[in-house]
Amino acid sequence: MFNKILSYISEDIAIDLGTATCLVYVRGRGIVITEPSVVAVNQKTGQVLAIGEEAKKMVGRTPAHIVATRPLVSGVISDFEVTEQMLRYFIEKAHKRKFLLSPRPRVIVGIPCGVTEVEKKAVCDAAKNAGAREVFLIEEPMAAAIGARLPIQEAGGNFIIDIGGGTTEVAVISLGGIVISKSLRIAGDKLNQDIVQFAQEEYKLLIGERTSEAIKIGIGSAYPLKEKKEMPMRGRNLVTGLPEEILVSDEDIRKALEKSVRQIVTEVKTAVEETPPELLADVMASGIQMAGGGSLLRGLDILIQKETKIPTKIIEDPMTAVVRGGGMVLENLDQLQEVLVETEYLEAPK
């Protein structure tokens, strides 16, 4: 009874704790924060100087003692203290005080499939230390499927691919549970690194991660485009040490990304092969759904469709699918309780 009253007063929150971007959904208000998962820390004092958008502007532009880092690697916490501070910042920013003594919020956090119990515990502890009253975990492909409004609670196969910054998650969902899941630590960040590596090997040009990401978004593709695209690539020549600008085409960038894209496609094909035939028949009718920022790589849906022979489409607003799904679970926690991850320590008395 007391918990029910608290849930009416507190503004419960769903967080998509992404490697590249954090999104925060507040119950009754929708998505209120979309910021990069970057934290700038002064290494001399250990003080956090900036979080999110402000910290991202500092990447590659700071003096030696200030480091702009990402506390999450491949969707998993790599720096506990910094993640906790980042979560506290997002929770406080999202949690508008309705009353003077507003209760702490309940928080749902999206996590990759296949994370260990230790990694799950790290997420729960970080969220609790950051000010959450209760913490629930939901697997990202499940949240993305709910966000895409797929009929996950029916006895039918729903095939979803969620390509984020750190991980690619592939899952087949039926009757509110994940039947098959694959988690691959190749996604948006790896594609950025591929472009950096390509520039070094092909043109002896050193470029930053921001530049490589801009090129990926600008002309990156997984499948030949109808019309040729070109873009200048600016960096430092490794031979002369002087600045240089080179014009690269979509074909060059496609060659740079080919190996990683091929691994993603292979993982999807493996999941298709392992899907029970009855569910596969459903998937052939309903198609493969793609979510996450990485799914926006031009032609990736066409390539997956060609390789799997299953209709493939990118869902509406793929970037926010996970946090929208988490938000929908928040709004209907009683009906959707079963989709949450069961963890032994979550139910422990506080």
String of DSSP letters for 19-85 = SSEEEEEETTTEEEEEEES-EEEETTTTEEEEETHHHHHHTT-S-TTEEEE-SEETTEES-HHHHHH
Among 2-6, 77-81, 150-154, name the most confident range. 150-154
Does the pLDDT at position 344 exceed 70?
A: no
Comparing CA positions, the residue from 217, 252, 214 lying closest to residue 60 is: 214
- Residues of the chain with pLDDT > 90: what percent? 37
Q: For residue 30, what pLDDT is reported? A: 84
Same fold, 150-186+258-318 and 188-256: no
CATH of domain 150-186+258-318: 3.30.420.40
Does the pLDDT at position 187 exceed 60?
A: yes
Q: For residue 274, what pLDDT is reported? A: 92
Q: For residue 216, what pLDDT is reported? A: 93
Q: Quick check: helix, strand or coil at residue 292?
A: coil
Q: For residue 8, what pLDDT is reported? A: 53
Does the pLDDT at position 242 exceed 70?
A: yes
Q: For residue 90, what pLDDT is reported? A: 83
Q: Quick check: helix, strand or coil at residue 248?
A: strand
Q: Which CATH class is domain 2-143+321-339?
A: alpha beta
- What CATH architecture does domain 188-256 belong to? Alpha-Beta Complex (3.90)
Instruction: Report helix angle 117-129 to 80-94, nearest 10.
Output: 50
How close are the terminal C-alpha atoms of the chain, in Å?
Answer: 17
Does the pLDDT at position 273 exceed 90?
A: yes
Determine the average pLDDT of the residues in 302-326.
91
Residue 272 burial class via C-beta count within 10 angstroms: exposed 0-12, middle 13-18, buried 19 and up = buried
Does the pLDDT at position 223 exceed 70?
A: yes
Does the pLDDT at position 301 exceed 80?
A: yes
Domain ranges of the chain: 2-143+321-339, 150-186+258-318, 188-256
Q: For residue 161, what pLDDT is reported? A: 94
- Distance, in Å, from the CA atom of 227 to the CA atom of 117, rounded to the nearest integer, reads 48
CA 327 to chain centre: 15
Q: In what order do the strands lie in the sheet with 168-174?
A: 177-184, 168-174, 158-163, 288-291, 312-314
Q: Is the dihedral of CA 289, 291, 294, 296 positive or negative?
A: positive
Q: How confident is the model at residue 35 (pLDDT cuts 50, 70, 90)?
A: confident
**Which parts of 219-341 are beta strand (E)?**
230-237, 243-249, 288-291, 312-314
- Distance, in Å, from the CA atom of 347 to the CA atom of 343, rounded to the nearest integer, reads 8
Does the pLDDT at position 349 exceed 50?
A: no
Mean pLDDT (the chain) is 85
Q: How confident is the model at residue 54 (pLDDT cuts 50, 70, 90)?
A: confident
pTM: predicted TM-score of the whole model, two decimal places: 0.86
Determine the average pLDDT of the residues in 27-42.
85
Half-sphere exposure of 94 (CA within 13 A, CB side): 33
349 versus 346: the higher-pLDDT residue is: 346
Q: For residue 99, what pLDDT is reported? A: 44
